[in-house]
Structure 1
Amino acid sequence: MHAASSDVQRAQSPPFSDASSRVARVRASAMSRRCYLRFIVFITIFDWHCGVLALSFEEERTRGVLTPFDCRDRDFEPMLALQRPSPMLKKIAYSLVASALATAALAITATADAQVVNVRTDRITTGLTFPTFVTHAPGDTTRLFILQKTGAVRIFNLTTNTLLATPFLTIAVTGGTSANDEQGLLGLAFDPDYTVNGQFYLYYTGSGTNVVSRYTRSAANPNIANTAATVLLSWSDPFTNHNGGWMGFGPDGNLYIGTGDGGSANDPSNRAQTIVNMRLGKMLRIKPKIGGTTPFYTSPKSNPFYGATTGDDEIWAYGLRNPWRNSFDRLTGDLYIGDVGQNAVEEVDFQPAGAAGGRNYGWRCTEGNNCTGLTGCTCGSATLTPPIKTHAHAAGTSGGYCITGGYVYRGCAIPNLQGTYFYGDYSSNNVWSLRYNGATTTEFTVRNTQITPSIDGFAVNEISSFGEDANGEIYICDQGASAGAGSIYKIVAVTGDAVCAPPCVAADLNCDGAVNGSDLATLLGNWGTAGSGDIDNNGTIDAADLAALLAVWG
């Protein structure tokens, strides 16, 4: 399905070796004996009669928390003070807060040798037909939504542990009828305001096209969706493979869409490097809109080629071969991309939260860190963004042929795994984890003996996707070799699954268990509207909502 092309596979350079130095991470353990370099974000609201917002950053070597200043305390120098929260202020505030959060989360600390936290898998459901994705709706801790490649969206009830017999929605797709078919229903993303507007988006293949459409849930039954669709994007795809298929809303509220290079070997038309009138081999970034005329989206002005003749407005990044599964770290906002290789290397690409768009991940000029030698390419260019981790096409527990990108663990059931990125490989059935501190990968761990087979004795052997629930716990889609053989597994502590549900307060806009910079960014991004962030439900996001958010910060 997301396999490499049929070219002869040949192992070349070995994967990145992990750096010997241990650059550790912030852990939420009271028993931790580490020295943290904390960054405190002081967000002060005062004189709202005049509408002044001031932000200041302070660095200290103490146990820090994100804390708002008392409104009466004026003994600081504001970094910025504006009469109204302008669009520029919102942009600066988001950038500063995201940067501070990322720095705090990745603070350097001296540690002893890292200890591997063992896990296992529990099979939660089976009988699925080629499942390609599993996810949750915003704030919904009771259900998982599972895509079947043949066109159905299924619901698994986490409370009753049952797979609902009636699909949430079934659509017509092209392909998706066998395990090796790369076409069909591939991606699902829920609108951040799904609880209010009931809108969600599907990525699927049509006849010679890839399509992104919007749907809405039924007003009468939350387990059923309306079949009427609004097509947002549709683009030609010359071959049946390399369709990409992932979508996700970023912390900025925009919809990110990963597209493949269009298929065949060596990207024959160099589509991934072509940025004019070409959506293939890209990471697109759009803002869906309601009503009006086509197109039913806008391109953010911060997109790298917005308004220019040198590139398409929708493009955020390019140089991708088949970004099969990707994800945002729900805590930091960092973007992880699993890009399937051709003959030599599988790779994990990365974009830190708050970084500008326009990154070129190299394909078809590079595969991993290897120069392909194809025409029209310059290897070794400083304009190319290398992967953070590679896996050579080779046998063994570190080798792979068809990478499946995963998720950074942010659940509450296994706290020592906080910040660990889980991912795997569809062909080799290897499952891995690592940590990335913005410069170096550490704690690379082969999880095969823990993940496959599961504790129930069922083998996880067709890893089509990873997913997460509303609490940040991670799941694995096992596509199965035939119709009805697909399953969903949950990664749990080796001692067994733990029941935990971080409380979701009103100001926790993304319901991740913390009121932090992501929630602030959402509130500021929707300032003056009735969207996500209207904490007091008065119809407008304003100073009162911001004050309510700051009151429960952390």
Structure 2
Amino acid sequence: MVRAPSLGILPFVIWLIVVACDGTAGAPAPGPAPSATAQAPAAAPSPAPTPAPLPPLPGIVVERVAGGLQRPTFVTGAGDGSGRLFVLEKRGTIRIVRDGAVLPEPFLDIRSRVTSSGNEQGLLGLAFHPRFAENGRFFVYYTAADGGANTLAEFRVSSTDPDRADPASARVLLAIPDRYSNHNGGMLAFGPDGYLYIALGDGGGAGDPLRAGQDLANPLGAILRIDVDAPPASGLAYAIPPDNPFLGREGARPEIWAYGLRNPWRFSFDRQTGDLWIADVGQNAREEVNFQPAGSPGGQNYGWSIMEGTNCYRPASGCDRTGLTLPVFEYTHSDGCSITGGYVYRGAAFPALRGAYLAADYCTGAAWAIRRQGETFRADRLPDFPTGISSFGEDDAGELYIVRDQPGTLERLVVR
């Protein structure tokens, strides 16, 4: 892949986007009709306090940790205090990196279950149960060899070797048929509420030919939310959280938490606040970051395929934005081709970076740090990262890493 010319360190780009779908939100109600009796004018409301200025961001570079990986798609810690990093390989293996060395034997090898022939297919997601240290449960997302279905499966660690999973423990929880090889989503994460969240793309094909993004009867183009600890619901291998926003609505999938997404790659929860950040890959023009505040009841419609970013897509002009939640940040394809979403930094090593959400472009390495100020968001352009970032990842302490599709490396973010 040819890297676009570096854009260098540009002046700060400020995006101030209020997360609202129209200009009426928060508008004061009309006052009473004027009285014939003269009255003293009401005191003017006090102005809203100006947010404190954000501290300058440090310079961020990457430092190689390990190489020799086969098209890595994700990296994460297990939350068990072991210090191990678990790296997914597209072909269907999970490798352990300990003290900078890739262990010779994979933690899990499910190549026989996985198809990775399409560029966006393969082993795409991994989430360890919040009590993994006690119960040994973890969950993976992959495109299945027998038909390409987007598949969620549960496994358990071996009872005799903590560095090996038990392949016989496999249990498929969800298999969603998919007509095309692209837009498979794949991110898995447990939320602060203990439920498992699952990102699904719109099923592929240009322009959402399935119209999945706006179809509540279709789980594609959505983030699902399920309970993997409660007794399963009738006909399912999992339970539906009782406060899911579309539970009980006729014609809607009860697992859906949010929808209107094209190919969310990736989402993450702020480990301090619980806010949800979603990077969604665009069609031909715009890449975007969406936001859901902690405590949200869910149900947000992020717009695809009515919108691509803040632009109308279907129709190309005059689209109805009623009820849509627009992105808090976007960039055009003059800066890249495909967004890779990251995490809000909450580690201890770089205090000046705390609270910043990082994202980068796969093709150019263009990178941004996005920080929330009340109801607005500011995005600062960073020096370019390397190209080919297939995913960011967090270790147990909240320090950030990247994996690069080509040349197959794991790297950590460091501040200079």
Normalized per residue, the structure richer in helix is 1
**TM-score (norm. length: structure 2):** 0.84
Aligned residues with identical type, % of pairs: 45
User: Which of 339, 345, 349 pairs up with 1:413?
Assistant: 349
Query: Which 5+ residue runs of structure 1 have no aligned equivalent?
Result: 2-15, 22-106, 452-459, 495-554
Considering Cα pairs closer than 8 Å and 6+ residues apart, tell me whether 1 or 2 has the greater RCO. Answer: 2
| Cα displacement (A) at 1:109 | 4.2
The amino acid that maps onto 1:379 is C
Match of residue 169 from structure 1: 108
Change over 3 Å in CA distance of 1:438–1:295 after alignment to 2: farther
Judge conservation of contact 1:258–1:282 (CA < 8 Å) in 2: yes
| Cα displacement (A) at 1:378 | 7.6
**TM-score (norm. length: structure 1):** 0.64
Change over 3 Å in CA distance of 1:220–1:271 after alignment to 2: same
Match of residue 148 from structure 2: 208
User: Which of 328, 337, 350 pairs up with 1:401?
Assistant: 337
Equivalent residue runs for 1:173-192 within 5 Å? 173-177=113-117, 181-192=119-130
What whole-Å deviation, never above 9, does each CA across 1:150-191 have from its counterpart, x for those lacking one?
Answer: 00000001xx321101000010344325xx711000000011
Match of residue 466 from structure 1: 392
Q: Does 1:487 align with 2:396?
A: no
Measure, in 2, the Cα distance between the counterparts of 1:475 and 1:434: 17
Change over 3 Å in CA distance of 1:234–1:420 after alignment to 2: same
What whole-Å deviation, never above 9, does each CA across 1:108-138 have from its counterpart, x for those lacking one?
Answer: 6433x74231122110000000000000111
Equivalent residue runs for 1:49-448 within 5 Å? 109-111=51-53, 114-157=55-98, 160-171=99-110, 172-177=112-117, 181-206=119-144, 207-228=147-168, 229-276=170-217, 278-289=218-229, 295-374=236-315, 379-394=319-334, 399-448=335-384
Change over 3 Å in CA distance of 1:250–1:108 after alignment to 2: farther
Match of residue 18 from structure 1: 14
The amino acid that maps onto 1:489 is E
What whole-Å deviation, never above 9, does each CA across 1:480-534 have from its counterpart, x for those lacking one?
Answer: 1xxxx3001100121xxxxxxxxxxxxxxxxxxxxxxxxxxxxxxxxxxxxxxxx
Change over 3 Å in CA distance of 1:316–1:291 after alignment to 2: closer
Any idea what SS the aligned residue of 1:251 has? Answer: coil
Measure, in 2, the Cα distance between the counterparts of 1:438 and 1:173: 46
Judge conservation of contact 1:345–1:392 (CA < 8 Å) in 2: yes
Measure, in 2, the Cα distance between the counterparts of 1:19 and 1:260: 26
Measure, in 1, the Cα distance between the counterparts of 2:50 and 2:191: 26
Measure, in 1, the Cα distance between the counterparts of 2:246 and 2:188: 20
* Count of aligned pairs between the two proteins: 370
Measure, in 2, the Cα distance between the counterparts of 1:438 and 1:366: 25
Normalized per residue, the structure richer in strand is 2
The amino acid that maps onto 2:387 is N
| Cα displacement (A) at 1:416 | 1.2
Measure, in 2, the Cα distance between the counterparts of 1:378 and 1:310: 28
